[in-house]
């Protein structure tokens, strides 16, 4: 009986860990944008109306891996963490555009440039 109770307790703990959200994948420290990309300025930086478009795109294209709130999953890192938020808009744009196939991040270069900048705005708003 004690063994069964212990097994049940272990299973409940494991279920709690899974239900509370699995730890997100770590960012790839080797994935660094080149200088020419990091210095790019977001042309939509002062357009608060563009954030809603970024949110919509994020939910269509990114939430499957990064989660609805951008806090990551086993597939992708948490976008609210300092490792992401401290990067320049240009660096984030470069990463969205080119992807990182080693880590499972697809390229979104097929999206129009302004939509990729909208995604950057949404990532900033997700803090």
The pLDDT of residue 14 is above 50: no
Q: Contact, 58 vs 119, CB < 8 A?
A: yes
Distance (Å, rounded) from C-alpha 102 to C-alpha 21? 24
Distance (Å, rounded) from C-alpha 107 to C-alpha 97? 5
The pLDDT of residue 50 is above 80: yes
pLDDT, tens digit, 9 for 90 and up, residues 75-110: 999 999 999 999 999 999 999 999 999 899 999 999
Taking residues 106-125, report their average pLDDT: 96
Distance (Å, rounded) from C-alpha 33 to C-alpha 45? 19
Other CB atoms within 10 A of residue 75 CB: 15
Look at residue 115 in the predicted model and tell me its pLDDT: 98
CATH number 3.40.190.10 given to 24-125: no
Look at residue 29 in the predicted model and tell me its pLDDT: 80
Look at residue 15 in the predicted model and tell me its pLDDT: 46
Distance (Å, rounded) from C-alpha 53 to C-alpha 119? 8
Residue 20 belongs to what H/E stretch? none
């Amino acid at each position: 009986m004690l063994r069964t109770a212990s097994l049940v307790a272990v299973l409940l703990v494991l279920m709690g860990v899974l239900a509370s959200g699995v730890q997100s994948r770590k960012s790839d420290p080797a994935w660094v944008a080149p200088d020419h990309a990091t210095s790019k300025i977001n042309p939509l930086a002062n357009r608060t109306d563009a954030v809603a478009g970024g949110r919509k795109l994020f939910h269509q294209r990114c939430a499957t891996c990064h989660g609805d709130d951008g806090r990551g999953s086993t597939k992708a890192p948490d976008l609210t963490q300092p490792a992401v938020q401290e990067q320049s808009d240009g660096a984030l744009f470069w990463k969205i555009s080119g992807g990182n196939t080693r880590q499972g991040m697809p390229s979104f270069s097929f999206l129009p440039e302004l939509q990729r900048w909208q995604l950057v705005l949404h990532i900033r708003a997700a803090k």
